[in-house]
């Protein structure tokens, strides 16, 4: 199967079968796709919280646009991004990369100095908007991987971010929730989107060719 076929297969599932769980192996592959996502300066400024505990899922329902999906999907993958850039966070990533690649200590100092100069002089909200954007790259790849595995999913921004942050104690990790990905298997009798045609604007409208 090609990636294009996988993307045509997937759709944003509206109802999940609560009795069908996704194997840990497949959940790990979906998470791995997000972990491998490219990010600005390679900082990977987002994390995934993998919620399979039913009681915890139910605590996240209030204010969700898809409350049934929150309860009935197999796993809720919460995409949460750094609440800000800090010197420590930047150094930790680059120290790790330097070590992993067996490079001389301080190899990236001039570059990290530039990153700090830029990010540490910007408001936290502005930086969070940037870290959150990185998380969407991971979300996109995770959706594609789920499709390849023929696992159903739905990306969702319709969540109560404040509640999600509180329940999962994301502040303790310097994170704020951005979106979730509901993962599971559709309940075909209630998933009203499945029988419908996939609709995308035509290529002629989507692309501006400059030749």
Question: Two tokens at 82?
Answer: 């750094």
Residues in the site for ligand FMN, rule: CB under 6 A? 11-12, 65-66, 154-158, 179, 193, 198
Distances (CA, A) of 169 to 66, 97, 175, 193: 22, 28, 9, 34
Residue number of the CB atom closest to ligand FMN: 158
Q: What's the distance, CA 201 to chain centroid?
A: 24
Residue with Cβ nearer ligand FMN (115 or 184): 184
Closest approach, Cβ 25 to ligand FMN, in A, equals 24
Residues 6+ apart with CB under 8 A from 143: 10, 153, 155, 181
Residue with Cβ nearer ligand FMN (157 or 188): 157
Closest approach, Cβ 200 to ligand FMN, in A, equals 8
Residue with Cβ nearer ligand FMN (112 or 134): 134
Residues 6+ apart with CB under 8 A from 119: 85, 90, 127
Closest approach, Cβ 98 to ligand FMN, in A, equals 34
Q: What is the largest CA-CA distance in the chain?
A: 59
Residue with Cβ nearer ligand FMN (18 or 155): 155
Closest approach, Cβ 12 to ligand FMN, in A, equals 4
Residue with Cβ nearer ligand FMN (43 or 178): 178
Neighbours of 72 (CB within 10 A): 20
Q: Residue 28 and residue 34: Cα distance in Å, rounded?
A: 10
Closest approach, Cβ 71 to ligand FMN, in A, equals 14
């Amino acid at each position: 199967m090609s990636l294009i076929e996988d993307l045509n297969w997937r759709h944003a599932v509206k109802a999940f079968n609560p009795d069908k769980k996704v194997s840990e192996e497949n959940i790990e592959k979906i998470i791995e796709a997000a972990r491998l996502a490219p990010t600005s300066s390679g900082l990977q400024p987002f994390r995934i919280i993998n919620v399979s505990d039913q009681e915890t899922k139910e605590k996240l329902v209030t204010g969700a646009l898809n409350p049934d999906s929150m309860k009935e999907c197999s796993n809720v993958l919460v995409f949460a991004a750094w609440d800000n850039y800090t010197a420590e966070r930047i150094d930790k990533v680059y120290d790790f990369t330097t070590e992993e690649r067996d490079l001389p200590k301080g190899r990236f100092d001039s570059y990290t100095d530039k990153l700090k100069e830029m990010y540490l002089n910007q408001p936290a909200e502005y930086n969070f908007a940037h870290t959150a954007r990185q998380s969407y790259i991971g979300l996109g790849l995770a959706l594609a991987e789920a499709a390849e595995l023929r696992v159903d999913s739905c990306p969702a921004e319709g969540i109560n971010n404040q509640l999600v942050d509180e329940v999962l104690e994301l502040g303790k990790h310097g994170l704020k929730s951005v979106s979730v990905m509901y993962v599971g298997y559709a309940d075909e009798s209630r998933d009203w989107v499945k029988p419908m045609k996939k609709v995308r604007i035509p290529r002629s409208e989507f692309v501006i060719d400059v030749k």
